[in-house]
Structure 1
């Protein structure tokens, strides 16, 4: 009876080790966003390849406005916060945005903005350069 359990444990460990390196490589670049004194925005450049994503971390207060732009690139900006029920799609015309294209931040604290490729572009392994513009006020 111990042998089948042992085989299952070995299989689980093998699968975990096979999956974890891929998950660790999912993030391309992680940057912390800081604005110059007296400004409310900044621009960052980068490149996303395949299923990887670039991550931008910032701290903000409830009620502040967030505006994000990546131009015409096939990238999807997605916002995360520990208290959000689900990630927020920050693409232009997303229903999460107000009429001005801003997102009103619902919580104080640390947010993470990830730039992901569309599924078709990621599948092809394309390398997509971008310029991210971000404003918080």
Structure 2
């Protein structure tokens, strides 16, 4: 019984995975975009349309202490930031508690970041296909 209890306690955190971590499979990527800023610009705009549990991936490089702003309009979508040094994804959506008073997230590391745009699981399971417009800014 002790071995069974120990096995359950070890497996439980694996079973309680967040929706963004579950979307980590490469099969779930709908499109991958290398973010490019025009010369002299600090922001870039993109359009996307999500289907089911697939997500769009936007990758970019930034330096520690730069400020990131992610604005999405259109459908009901979520924005999560990933970096190899982050212990978990960071919600960088409009109402995230991770943002400062001006709506920016201060990047904690230099290097490559990935921004994933996805729809909530409840919406994905209903077959919704929300279009969205993304403005990504780095100051």
Normalised by the shorter chain, which TM-score bucket?
0.7 to 0.9
Partners of 2:126 and 2:27 in 1: how far apart?
17
Mapped pair 1:135 → 2:106: no
Partners of 1:126 and 1:51 in 2: how far apart?
10
Root-mean-square deviation over aligned CA pairs: 1.0
TM-score (norm 1): 0.81
Cα displacement (A) at 1:50: 0.6
Q: Name 1:126's counterpart in structure 2.
A: 128
Cα displacement (A) at 1:46: 1.0
Partners of 2:64 and 2:100 in 1: how far apart?
16
Residue ranges of structure 2 left out of the alignment (5+ in a row):
1-24
Residue ranges of structure 1 left out of the alignment (5+ in a row):
1-22
TM-score (norm 2): 0.80
Q: Name 1:20's counterpart in structure 2.
A: none
| SS of structure 2 residue aligned to 1:25 | helix
Give 2:69's match in structure 1, choosing from 60, 67, 70.
Answer: 67
Partners of 2:94 and 2:134 in 1: how far apart?
13
Partners of 2:87 and 2:64 in 1: how far apart?
16
1:49-80 Cα offsets, whole Å, 9 max, x none, are 01000000000000100000112521000000
